[in-house]
Amino acid sequence: MRNVGRLEQTLFSATKVVGLIVRPLILLFFLRTDQDSLAQDFSLLLTATASSFIILNNQNYRVAYQLFLGSDRSSHGLRGRDVVRNYVVGTLVHILAFIGVASLVLWLWLDRGDLLVLAMILILIEKFFDDDQRILVYKKRYYQWMINFTLRIIAPAIALIIVSLATDIDDVSLYVMSATLGVAVYIYLIRRQFFRISYRLVKIEFKQGISISIRRYFSEFRNEFFVAQVWAFLAANAILIDRFFINISHENIFADYIFAVSVANTIQTFHNLGYITFQRPRLLQADAIVISSVFNRMNLLLPFVLFIIIFTLYLLSIMLEADLTPLSFEVILSLCGLYYMHAVSLPAKEMAFWRLRRNYLIAQECVLFTFPIVGYGLGFNSQLGIVLATLCGLVVRLGLLITMLKLAETRQKRFNLRL
């Protein structure tokens, strides 16, 4: 594993920060320049993509990473070729099998044919970039990661606003076109060899009989990957469930809500980057205690400071009549509280991922989903009602996670790292 210099680490973090703020700023620009239709489509497209592309994430990448990212280079060779072939062919089989499921999830969000087509293209692009980023992070190739992230997040967003300003065309398809161009440039400059190898492996597999590979993949999927796939989908959508019900009940303010959520989400994101990242090695230790990790002073205070900063900025915008959002004071306060709870829950979620069985992880995610779903069914479909129901689900889920992890500590269960 290569050493990483201070400059590379700094640029890596700076790129993340730029990616975090560029979309909300562009969304705010569209909202405040009367491009409400573009803001709405942009918000819907990004949210639906985030909700559904995880369905295309085949879990067999773990075997490939375990082989190629380990220190035992002698394990490569013929075995390495077989692992790569199984990964590449398994990825293709998984995408073809589950693209229909992903499209159904997209339709639940979008309910529009034009956006559905654009989102289908975008989830395939996201699938490629996400897999590639994961490899680059594990291998600590941060400069290459920055190129990936720029072409995936930053460049398409900037291209959308530049073209819309220059041509007066307010069509979100410009974003997807820019993302498509970005992935093409990235593949041509950096991943040509990988694509050539993948093409040859798939071609060989088809000649030998693809049906064998399909049966092998779904046998592995049923026995090993299915539960992990369900959990990954639920975990990705746990942070989006409030947005889903806001989109159903308050479509006219969805773009404004997404802007507010993007700002509030910085509480969780910066806490993850600035604290959890450095605490992760300690959280992975077998003797780490969940109570002291969750109720650690820094884990509680750092996101609270971010909470205060964001809410103070909101109050200043009101005093200055900046008109940043039409959402009420109570909704903004509740959103900040929601993402404060997301941030505080991060240590417990990290520990649970490694210590608890996947079916327990699925159960605790379902508990979170229950509150906004039941609340919506009972008629609590105001903006504030949806946010508060989700917040209640988060609090209960955190309590459940702490309880399960505490029981695991008491019973002195083994600490198994599952790859």
CA neighbor of 11 nearest in space, from 149, 128, 134:
149
CA distance 104 to 265: 27
Does the pLDDT of residue 142 top 90, yes or no? no
Does the pLDDT of residue 5 top 60, yes or no? yes
Q: Give 369: exposed, middle or buried? Use CB within 10 Å, 0-12, 13-18, 19+.
A: middle
Mean pLDDT computed over 35-62:
89
**Cβ neighbours, 10 Å, residue 70:** 12
Residue 41 in tokens: 């489509």
Contact 383, 327 (CB under 8 A): yes
pLDDT reported for residue 74: 46
Mean pLDDT computed over 43-63:
86
Contact 157, 118 (CB under 8 A): no
CA neighbor of 86 nearest in space, from 213, 222, 200, 225:
213
Higher pLDDT, 192 or 1: 192
pLDDT reported for residue 255: 95
**Phi and psi, residue 104, nearest 5°:** -65, -40
Could you tell me how far CA 34 lies from the centroid of its own chain?
A: 29
Mean pLDDT computed over 20-24:
89
Residue 46, CB half-sphere, CA atoms under 13 Å: how many? 22
Give the pLDDT confidence of 58-89 residue by residue, as tens digits: 776 666 666 655 544 444 554 566 777 778 88
Give the pLDDT confidence of 287-344 residue by residue, as tens digits: 889 999 999 999 999 999 999 999 999 999 999 888 888 999 999 999 999 999 999 9
